[in-house]
Structure 1
């Protein structure tokens, strides 16, 4: 396999100069810089664009699929979905997309207000309204629901190691028992289009707490809606995530399932990082753990009727 070239500032500058009209980013050519140090495949271009370069052919498939999916999703959701200004290949077989910047910060930096929670409810409602067949026709794959019981068992062991490092109270995971995990299994026939990556860095928020846009649609799948509720729990906190999901019409079961997916994931991710198995920002992972474990009143619900309606 031919190794992909490493993008440089000169590579990026030559590419965007050929794409943008003269004068749109200044007569001296566009100012380009990596979005984050060590992430050389995503670049700021001036003050109005973002260039995303696929590092390999698999990522290129996802980039091209994302273009089709964003066009499908956009009419259904009340928040901005990035629009492509140009797209093509930046190297043989490797895709790029130059997107208009969605203004705002991230939910990692800005708290989401009650009105912002309504924006998130509109997002979840809109995703559920996208016809599954149309989503699959763009190339979005199906994903089977995860086993909450298997995740719980892994998280219990990880929590003990976090407790030994004085990072977490392992007894908190005892709230989720094996029978409880069984009750919160995904229900048949509930698969919807899910973003599947609603971390705070992909949720664009403004200083007034509104949610302005959702980025990074490359990991979208047709699957368990609780995964998006889980993503919001680590992004904006469990209470806000559950309130948004409830406003979107989801009942107690998917809300609690999403809550516990988030809590188990947050324990596992911090453990993996502290034990050297995964990269990341320890401070951010601790913040996500704290957000996921914020208490909610819905946790008092323990029984579900077999005929409980699921949307």
Structure 2
């Protein structure tokens, strides 16, 4: 297989000169900077273009197909979700068979830079509500794949082994996993007929948050699938914390089952991934994985009430 070329600032500038030939880039070419995120290296190279645009370059043909699909998917979801999505300015190929998209830059920071406020949680609720309203058949017509729900029981077993390894490294108390029993995972199995459009990558850098805590936009729809809505609840738990994620999902009309399923998907995932990173099997940076574990394991209201009852009984 041919090795994909590595994009450089000069590569990006040459491409952009032909795309932004309106006098806005100046004689020296546009100001370009690679986007740095706290997460692991993404599947596509992303560059800031001045203060108004974002350029993404796909590194392989599979990602290229998803990148080509994204503008049409954004057009489909835009009327439903209540928050902004980027507008495409140009698209094409930056190398043989490798796609690019040039999009408008949404104003605001990330959920890593700004805390989501109570009103911002309502924005997240609108996002989850809107995703449920997107016509699934239209999404599948665009090429969005349908993906079956993950086995929470298999994930629980993997997390149990990972938790023991984290305990040896003094990173996690495996007793915390005792709350999730085999019978609980059976009760939290995904129900048939509940598949919706799922963003499937609601990381903090994909949430555009303003200084006042409002969620103003959602980026990067390349990983979208038709599947388990609990996956997006899990993603929000990693991005903004479990209490905020569960509150937003509840406000969106989700009942206890998908909320708790999303919570435990996030919790087990963080344990497995942190253990994998410590063992050199996961490329995620340790500081980020530790933050995500902390966020996912924040107690939600029901757990806090239970803890208070237990303390009263002991007293």
Instruction: Give TM-score scaled by structure 1 length.
Output: 0.94
Deviation per residue, 1:168-189 (Å, 9 max, x gap): 1110001000000100000000
* Equivalent residue runs for 1:212-251 within 5 Å: 212-251=216-255
Unaligned runs of 5+ in 1: 303-311
**Are the aligned partners of 2:17 and 2:25 in contact in 1 as well (CA < 8 Å)?**
no
Aligned partner of 2:267 among 263, 282, 286: 263
- The correspondence of residues 178-217 of structure 1 with structure 2, limited to 5 A, is 178-217=182-221
Aligned equivalents of 1:79, 1:115: Cα separation in 2: 13
The verdict on how the C-alpha distance between 1:218 and 1:89 changes in structure 2, with shifts beyond 3 A counting, is same
Question: How far did residue 21 of structure 1 move?
Answer: 3.0
Secondary structure of 2:55's aligned partner: strand
1:33 aligned counterpart, secondary structure: strand
| 1:88-135: CA deviation from partner (whole Å, max 9, x where unpaired) | 111111100001111111112211000000000000000000010011
Q: Segments of 4+ in structure 1 off by > 2 A? A: 25-28, 36-40, 297-302
- Aligned twin of 2:106: 102
Q: Show CA shifts across 1:174-224 (max 9, x none).
A: 100000010000000000000000011111111111001111100000000
Write the distance in 2 (CA, Å) between the matches of 1:300 and 1:142. Answer: 36
- 1:34 is matched with 34
Q: C-alpha separation between the residues in 2 aligned to 1:292 and 1:232?
A: 9
- Report how many aligned residue pairs link the two structures: 302
The CA RMSD over aligned residues, in Å, is: 1.6
Who is 1:113 aligned against? 117
- Conserved? CA contact 1:49–1:101, under 8 Å: yes
For 2:17, the equivalent position in structure 1 comes to 17
1:305 alignment counterpart: none
- Compute the displacement of 1:9 (Å): 1.0
1:7 aligned residue = 7
**Maintained 8 Å contact 1:256/1:298:** no
Q: Give the superposition deviation at 1:300.
A: 8.2
1-structure distance, mates of 2:75, 2:120: 23
Q: Structure 2 stretches of 5 or more lacking a match?
A: 307-315
- Name 1:159's counterpart in structure 2: 163
TM-score (norm 2): 0.93
Q: Does structure 1 residue 292 correspond to structure 2 residue 296?
A: yes
Q: Is the 8 A contact 1:256 1:299 kept in 2?
A: no
1:88 is the counterpart of 2:86 = no
Corresponding residue for residue 78 of structure 2: 74
Distance 1:262 1:192 in 2: 19
Equivalent residue runs for 1:38-53 within 5 Å: 41-53=45-57
- Taking the aligned partners of 2:75 and 2:17, their CA distance within structure 1 comes to 26
How far apart, CA to CA, are the structure 2 residues paired with 1:118 and 1:190?
Answer: 22
- String of CA shifts for 1:13-45, please: whole Å, max 9, x gaps: 010110013322334310112112876821111
Determine whether 1:278 maps to 2:282: yes
Change (3 A) 1:65 1:170: same
CA distance in structure 2 between the partners assigned to 1:175 and 1:146 by the alignment? 19
